[in-house]
Structure 1
Amino acid sequence: MKPTTTIADKFKQLLVILLPILITQITLSAITFFDTNMSGKFSSIDLAGVAIGSSLWVPIQVGLTGILLGLTPIVSHLVGNNQRNNIAYHVIQALWLSFILALLVLLIGSFVVPPILEGMNLADNVRHVSFQYLLGISIGIIPLFGYTVLRCLIDALGETRISMIITLISLPINVTLNYALIFGKYGFPQMGGAGAGVASGITYWCIFIIALWFVHRKHPFAKLGIFRKLHFISFRSWKELLNIGVPIGFSIFFETAVFAAVTLLMSQFSTATIAAHQAALNFATTLYMIPLSICMSLTILIGYEKGANRNKDAKQYAIIGISFAVALSLLTAIILIFASKPIASLYSDEAHIIDLIQHFLVYAIFFQISDAIATPTQGALRGYKDVTPAFLIALLAYWIIGLPVGFILANYTNLGPDGYWIGLITGLAIGAILLLRRLMSIQRKFALVTSD
């Protein structure tokens, strides 16, 4: 990264950081996409089982790994302030924390997952697929959390193309393993949806090992000497990371968990409805990678400019990033309008499920505008290290407003499952408005500091 002076230069810098992140996020999302897609090709029961399993896993994954994202603004500020010699210490502390968090997930999950699944109104075969899928995923939790730390380091240094390369290598590994384990190819047992979980778990190990090699051996990471000295756990360093990371993690958790909660509440409807809902949500999540990638880019760029006390440049990056996200959201909305049937056909060969998926995809159109504003805005706020208000806004918008509205509409009107989608859209819109107001407030604050 380097200082920029014109809007054109800033947009070019944004694209340099953004495009590899976008490819990386789409590829990571594709792992879940292929889990869902290939399980659906095996059977609708396996599709529903993987849908339930991923709905339990994804909020935990993104929420806890979101805590580790606190490392990104810390490293960005160090880079902007020319304090690269302190980076290795913070990375090692984050790796220790990632290991502890992963162990907690494994320990707590072993106790709480079985009763949660038993308490849900699911067919026995769907419940079995869900549990086996989660069991397979569990073998890769420790390396996934470790990889998150290494990726934060790589991206915060502006080397987002390295993250892209690592993830692109992992995708064919995951697809091949899915094909082998779901359908029983190459001499492997036919495991159905459970095989998708095992394939993802192995893939997480692969990306962690590859990332370790890059950080240890390749420029510009090698000269940082990340593993040259083993720093013991420092609770003071953890406190700094957690002060930033916990609000980020909970903010992400509240947003993703509300979607998972809706999927779980959908269990009152038919297996076909669950499968179609999850398929439509899965594709909407894939499109969400666009504003999410802009969000991550803004955290890096604004953190860099803020670390160097260039507040005007930081504000300009925020305006450029959010505007670009809105423009792209209009394009994705057009894609959903005119290509809903081909998209639905990616997830199932059964005509009635395809029709249901198309129906739910209509609601995904309205997600795009709100996500295009809310998600990059959160990234900008993280660059300023202003994270607690976003967490509170997520709690209010998604859980206090969005989910109750959806529950009421789904259960006390004739809307049925559509009510949950309307509730989600309501929460996302309110969250976008409140987050944008917070960003404008922070920018005014730093503008006054600069003028003084």
Structure 2
Amino acid sequence: MVPAMTHRNADIAASAGTLAETNHWRVEMNATVKLALPIALTQLGQVAMMTSDLMLIGHLGDKAIAAAALGQTVLFAAFVVGMGLVSAVAPLAAQAFGAREPRMVRRSLRVGLWAAVLLGIPATALQHLGEDILIATGQEPESARLAGLYLIGLGWSLVPGWWFIALRGFMGAVNRPEPALWVTLVAIPINALLAYALIYGRFGLPRLELLGAGIATTIVNLGMCVACVWITYRQRPFRKYRVLGRLWRIDWPLLGRLIAVGAPISGSFLLEYGLFATAAIMMGWISTTALAAHQIALQTAAILFMVPFGISMAATVRVGHAVGRHDAAATRRAGFAAIGLGAVFMAAMVLIVIALRHVIPLAFLGTATADTDATLVLAATLLLLGSTFFIVDGVQTVANGALRGLNDTRVPLLFAAVSFWVIGFSTSYGLAFPAGLGAVGIWIGFTVGLGIYAGLLLWRFDALTRRGYLPATPGHTVAH
């Protein structure tokens, strides 16, 4: 009787343990969805503004949309550097929040705002050299001139854009990401109306075309930044952190820590976006049609990417909270719950894109004409090729977010260099030109590089969390 009872008790205990573990995963998934949803919607709102601009520009013709693609390429080369630095606000603030250190939460945001200003001064000045930069890369003079006009208006959006990212990261770190969404939702129609007025000269404003599109984006970004500053300063629960307290004082040690975490993020972003920028340049070598089709397909990918990017930011926060609590098991659970969520979402979206691949390009170019037929056909082909690309892109960004929650950013930088440039670029160039596949070859190279990167990031997160790794946080030592 005793052995039988012992086995029965063991079975009951095992069942209870399994049920408890299942509940932990369910709670984690629910918490991730609750946090990721407003962040993802905020991301979608921002890309909606970019997409509406691109649609308005698209009605100026193929040359205008190609020039906008070149202009955004130059801007993003600078933007992603600052974006990486201020993205470090989220894990640092989340870890401090998990450790119940409100002063460190405020300090993490403050150094992010200072980093944006210090980097923004030279980066903004660089945008005014956009035409010269593009001519030096072999672009057509007329396309470079139009892109340069776009950048004169757009370049001033860098610092307010980075501040918005830092403030949004702070909001997410304290589990209140909704205000950034509200600000974005208000900004969407304002941006569309202002861009329409400045591009086409409506409501008594001058017709500025591409310059007007850039100016509209800068004005709206500045307004969003001011709104978020006011919300974090005046509204609950943010005002208790006194985010503007002693703003003039630079916390140099913590700024160094932000750079240590954020600089590799910037490097990874720069390597990734650099690959896409180089792809745009290579598309320009092929033809204006290839460049326009590439921009349409890439903008579609950007729309899809915003949801897993939002999930990635939620993963950073959830993993960061667990790090602050020194809960190694929760860090692993938070990361893999987010990765699974991102993969499932992207798989579902791919089916929709494949079904609508001939319709989506029409939203950018309007009714098909003899001048746009080739662009429409090529864009549909690239969207079909992008089906695998979209899924691995979603997985890699969420896995990256989970690793940032662990402050693990240097090894992913090495992975990015190998995946994007040693493998991705070589494959894209080889298939596009020596193999003669053109634009199709470039997109195949994308997929190969991103697939390898996603696999390496998954392996890294699994290896770290399997052995219970926790990073050092302010006031604590590294725990294994």
**Would you call these one fold, judging by a TM-score over 0.5?**
yes
User: What is the Cα deviation at residue 407 of structure 1?
Assistant: 0.7
- Aligned residue in 1 for 2:403: 381
Alignment match, 1:314 = 331
- Judge conservation of contact 1:53–1:133 (CA < 8 Å) in 2: yes
2:396 alignment partner AA: A
- Where structure 2 has 5 or more consecutive residues not aligned to the other structure, the ranges are 1-21, 367-371, 472-477
- CA 383–356 in structure 1, closer or farther in 2 if over 3 Å, else same: same
2: CA distance, partners of 1:292 / 1:197: 24
The partner residue of 2:201 within 181, 184, 201 is: 184
State how far apart, in whole Å, the 1-side matches of 2:127 and 2:151 are.
9
SS in 2 for 1:6: helix
1:301 alignment partner AA: R
Matches within 5 A, 1:57-136: 57-111=75-129, 113-136=130-153
1:180 Cα offset (Å) = 0.6
Aligned equivalent of 2:241:
224
- Which of 439, 444, 447 matches 2:461? 439
User: Are 2:430 and 1:408 aligned?
Assistant: yes
Q: One-letter code of the match for 2:62?
A: S
Check conservation: 2:429, 2:442, Cα contact below 8 A.
yes
Deviation track 1:387-412 (CA, whole Å, cap 9, x = no partner) reads: 11111111110011101111111110
1:45 to 49, 63, 86: 63
2-side partners of 1:370 and 1:230: how far apart?
40
Instruction: Give the distance between the partners of 2:111 and 2:275, measured in 1 at CA.
Output: 31
Q: Is the Cα–Cα contact under 8 Å of residues 155 and 300 in structure 1 kept in the other structure?
A: yes
Residue 351 of structure 1: how far off its partner (Å)? 2.8
Q: Which position in structure 2 is the counterpart of 1:140?
A: 157
Kept in 2: contact 1:120–1:267 (CA 8 A) = no
Give 1:81's aligned amino acid.
A
Q: Does 1:19 align with 2:41?
A: no
On the 8 A contact 2:195/2:216 being kept in 1, the answer is yes
Aligned to 1:257: 274
Cα contact 1:47–1:193 (8 A) shared by 2: no
Match of 1:160 in 2: 177
**What amino acid does structure 2 have at the position aligned with 1:200?**
T
1:173 pairs with 2:195: no
In the alignment, the residues of structure 2 paired with residue 231 and residue 121 of structure 1 have an alpha-carbon distance, to the nearest angstrom, of: 44
Structure 2 equivalent of residue 366 of structure 1: 388
Provide the C-alpha distance between the structure 2 equivalents of 1:351 and 1:162, rounded to a whole number of angstroms.
42
1:371 partner amino acid:
D
State whether structure 2 residue 442 is matched by structure 1 residue 425. no
Compared with structure 1, are the counterparts of its residues 357 and 79 closer, same or farther at alpha carbon in structure 2 (3 Å cutoff)? same
Normalising to structure 1: TM-score of the pair? 0.95
- Calculate the aligned-residue CA RMSD, in Å: 1.9
Question: How far did 1:5 drift?
Answer: 5.9
Matched, 1:247 2:264: yes
- How far apart are 1:79 and its partner, in Å? 0.6
Alpha-carbon separation, structure 1, partners of 2:461 and 2:182: 33
Asked whether the equivalents of residues 35 and 50 of structure 1 are also in contact (C-alpha less than 8 Å), the reply is no
Alpha-carbon separation, structure 1, partners of 2:72 and 2:150:
8
Asked if 1:399 is matched to 2:421, the reply is: yes
Q: Is 1:277–2:294 an aligned residue pair?
A: yes
2:322 counterpart of 1:327: no
CA apart distance, 1:59: 3.2
- The answer to whether the Cα contact below 8 Å between 2:328 and 2:470 also exists between their aligned partners in 1 is no
Aligned equivalents of 2:354, 2:405: Cα separation in 1 = 34
Report the alpha carbon displacement of residue 255 of structure 1 after superposing the two structures with TM: 1.1
Name the SS of the counterpart of 1:159 in structure 2: coil
Does the aligned pair in 1 maintain the 2:124–2:156 contact within 8 Å? no
Relative to structure 1, the CA distance from residue 448 to residue 165 in structure 2 (aligned partners, 3 Å threshold; closer, same or farther) is: closer
Aligned with 1:292 (options 268, 284, 309)? 309
After superposition, the C-alpha distances for 1:70-93 in whole angstroms (9 at most, x for unaligned) are 111111111111111232233222
TM-score, scaled to structure 2: 0.90
Partners in 2 of 1:324 and 1:91 — Cα distance?
28
In 2: Cα distance, 1:205 partner to 1:169 partner: 13
Structure 1: 4+ residue segments shifted above 4 A: 447-452
In structure 1, give the amino acid aligned to 2:80: V
Q: Distance in 2 between matches of 1:447 and 1:149?
A: 27
Paired amino acid for 1:314: T
Indicate conservation of the 8 Å contact 1:42/1:182, yes or no.
no
In structure 2, how many angstroms separate the alpha carbons of the residues matched to 1:434 and 1:86? 32
Whichever residue aligns with residue 310 of structure 1, its letter is D
How far apart in 1 are the matches of 2:253 and 2:334?
32
In the TM superposition, residue 195 of structure 1 has moved relative to its aligned partner by: 1.8
Distance in 1, Cα, partners of 2:360 & 2:175: 34
SS across alignment from 2:467: helix
Q: What is the identity, as a one-letter code, of the residue corresponding to 1:192?
A: E
- Report the Cα distance in structure 2 between the residues aligned to 1:448 and 1:73, rounded to whole angstroms: 13
Q: Quote the residue 1:193 is aligned against.
A: 210
Take 1:160 and 1:292, find their aligned partners in 2: how far apart are those partners? Answer: 14
SS at match of 1:193: helix
SS in 1 for 2:358: helix
